[in-house]
Amino acid sequence: TDLSKIRNFSIIAHIDHGKSTLADRLIEFCGAIEARDMKAQLLDNMDIERERGITIKAQTVRLNYNAKDGETYQLNLMDTPGHVDFAYEVSRSLAACEGSLLVVDASQGVEAQTLANVYQALDANHEIVPVLNKVDLPAADVDRVKTQIEDVIGLDASDAVEISAKTGLNIEGVLEAIVARLPSPKGDREAPLQALIVDSWYDAYLGVIILVRVFNGELKLGQKVRFMATGATRELDRVGIFTPKKVAVDRLGPGEMGFVTAAIKDIRDTKVGDTITEERRLAEKPLAGFKPSIPVVFCGLFPADAADFEHLRDSLGKLALNDASFQYETESSAALGFGFRCGFLGLLHLEIIQERLEREFDLDLITTAPSVVYKMFMTDGTVLEMHNPADMPDVVKIDHIEEPWIKATIMLPDEYLGGVLALCTERRGIQVDLTYVGGRAMLVYELPLNEVVFDFYDRLKSISRGYASFDYHLEGYREGDLVKMSILVNAEPVDALSMIVHRSQAEYRGRQLCERLKDLIPRHLFKIPIQAAIGAKVIARETIAALRKDVLAKCYGGDISRKRKLLDKQKEGKKRMRQFGEVEIPQSAFIAALKMG
């Protein structure tokens, strides 16, 4: 196709502002699918995504649009995830396009993720077309939101496209704006092949599918290609596009997007951001790739039933096939037995993986407290990266510890400002900026990530009654006065409950955890002390009183079936107990204790 007739674009938006609905309408309008074939939200493949309404994997669709100028344009739509945990996936989708539609809910206005995504699009040199969605809602305030876009983002919003993705109002206006206002791609068909790997995933039938954007040259069926980063060579056995159905084509030229397969079994062989070139005529250098996504939050995942360990290993392996940013390795804990230490891009990523394991693989899991990656500067000059509080070296060998800090943007109605400022201060935050735009406050804070992974987001939502939006990026490492807090039950340390905390927070967190455990651990025939300690120093303590009555005593005289039921229930409970010295701790106690908040 003639380059001037191609437009590559992505849709960026805050969660729930209508990105997927608009994508569906664009697909429908261009007649790529019959309306009756439309499932709700075509671009979201996974069930969990559909239920949670979060787009995880970037996807692309080719549309043919007959524009009012009489020409037919090839529009390649890249879907992008909206959530902060997947910022990296956003950046790589953006690198494959020349422009973005910025969707803003006209009844809500600019939110934290709107901003974060716009900055990324500007970084990628995108032309941006603002789209005001949900104008059908009575609460829509087009003028206010236009002013906001101009004041907060600095984009000209005078010719923003006003639409309702839900009713289908003015979808053609969006398509015309794409053609008229977004640039066409550049590229040279005669030059040596350079195609960027935008994404890759494992498909049970086709093996690894590679999503590509061709910059120069052509990708052809049967072509022998080389992956420049790994040096591997392969023959392409499929070249195609998504409409969104997979459709075979014989070639992809400059400016085009599509997919290829080459009998590859392991997605780790197809590094996202790598350049594909032709074996016979190698490109001089690779395209600028992406920064790799690095897990920032770690936690232990243990099977509730030890017999499920192998099943858990298998399941993790399957998930990792489609998620190169998810990491895991075996870990053993005195408290929880054998399990895995897992690395995630953020808390949402953690939750999604955990949920998929429980739902798709029918696993019952115990998750330990999430932890960030600390840098330990040792007295002998070495630096250790620590992913697990259990690995904390002897304190006398540590010179100092550094922890990751983030820069967070929070947008909220100003009546909740007081509460949110207090929360940020409590979490050791440093205020960088505070501005007001149209009745809303925009707050910029530096915060230790360690204070955010606990329950920051939940607290923020409850303080602001759900009206605050939040986005962050990593800033770097800073020294902190951090200590390891251990929890002892009946004088036995419970490794799964130990955590790294700031010294100033240790007592509060210790007390909170001890109080909670006191209610969660059932009484035994003896008194059980529960303590939080830093080294040998106890900083908080609770005691569980001894148990007196036999639980069966109540049933004397009662009918036998009731008694049996009770015994069965106890047996069932037993399976889910963990033994610590003489104390049995139910699995539910771990789960509840680890859910800080």
Least distance CB 88 / ligand GTP (angstroms): 16
* Longest CA span, the chain: 92
d(CA 213, CA 142): 36
* Contact assessment for residue 90 and residue 117, using Cβ atoms and an 8 Å cutoff: yes
**Contact residue for ligand GTP among 6, 12, 15, 267 (CB under 6 A):** 15
Strand 161-162, strand 127-133: pairing: parallel
Report helix angle 87-95 to 112-123, nearest 10.
Answer: 40
Residues 378-417 as x/- pattern, contact with ligand GTP by CB under 6 A: ----------------------------------------
356 binds ligand GTP (CB under 6 A): no
* Contact assessment for residue 441 and residue 412, using Cβ atoms and an 8 Å cutoff: yes
**Contact residue for ligand GTP among 6, 12, 13, 212 (CB under 6 A):** 13
**Contact residue for ligand GTP among 17, 213, 271, 427 (CB under 6 A):** 17
21 binds ligand GTP (CB under 6 A): yes
- Residues 233-272 interacting with ligand GTP (rule: CB under 6 A): none
- Residues 215-234 interacting with ligand GTP (rule: CB under 6 A): none
Task: Quote the tokens at residue 514.
Answer: 């001890």
Interface segment toward ligand GTP; rule CB under 6 A; list 15-23, 188-196, 260-268, 486-494: 15-23
20 binds ligand GTP (CB under 6 A): yes
Least distance CB 472 / ligand GTP (angstroms): 17
What lies within 8 Å, CB to CB, of 507 at 6+ separation is 539, 540
142 binds ligand GTP (CB under 6 A): no
What lies within 8 Å, CB to CB, of 314 at 6+ separation is none
Least distance CB 169 / ligand GTP (angstroms): 8
136 binds ligand GTP (CB under 6 A): yes
Least distance CB 454 / ligand GTP (angstroms): 24
| Closer Cβ to ligand GTP, 82 or 217, answer by number | 82
* Contact assessment for residue 460 and residue 423, using Cβ atoms and an 8 Å cutoff: yes
What lies within 8 Å, CB to CB, of 436 at 6+ separation is 414, 442
- The residue ranges of DSSP E strands in 387-513, in sequence order, are 398-413, 430-437, 440-448, 469-480, 482-489, 492-493, 499-502
- Residues 45-104 interacting with ligand GTP (rule: CB under 6 A): 53-55, 82
Interface segment toward ligand GTP; rule CB under 6 A; list 162-170, 215-223, 377-385, 570-578: 162-170
**Contact residue for ligand GTP among 166, 428, 461, 563 (CB under 6 A):** 166
| Closer Cβ to ligand GTP, 164 or 531, answer by number | 164
Q: How many residues bind ligand GTP (CB under 6 A)?
A: 19
What lies within 8 Å, CB to CB, of 285 at 6+ separation is none
What lies within 8 Å, CB to CB, of 44 at 6+ separation is 20, 50, 53, 55
How far from the centroid of its chain's Cα atoms is residue 462's Cα?
21
Least distance CB 16 / ligand GTP (angstroms): 4
| Closer Cβ to ligand GTP, 166 or 181, answer by number | 166
SS3 69: coil
16 binds ligand GTP (CB under 6 A): yes
Interface segment toward ligand GTP; rule CB under 6 A; list 161-169, 186-194, 344-352, 562-570: 161-169
Q: Of how many residues is the chain composed?
A: 597
Report the b/e string of 487-518 with b at 16+ CB within 10 A. Answer: bbbbeebbbbbbbbbbeebbeebbebbbebbe
Least distance CB 147 / ligand GTP (angstroms): 20
| Closer Cβ to ligand GTP, 118 or 165, answer by number | 165
Q: Which stretches of the chain bind ligand GTP, using CB under 6 A? A: 13, 15-21, 53-55, 82, 133-134, 136-137, 164-166
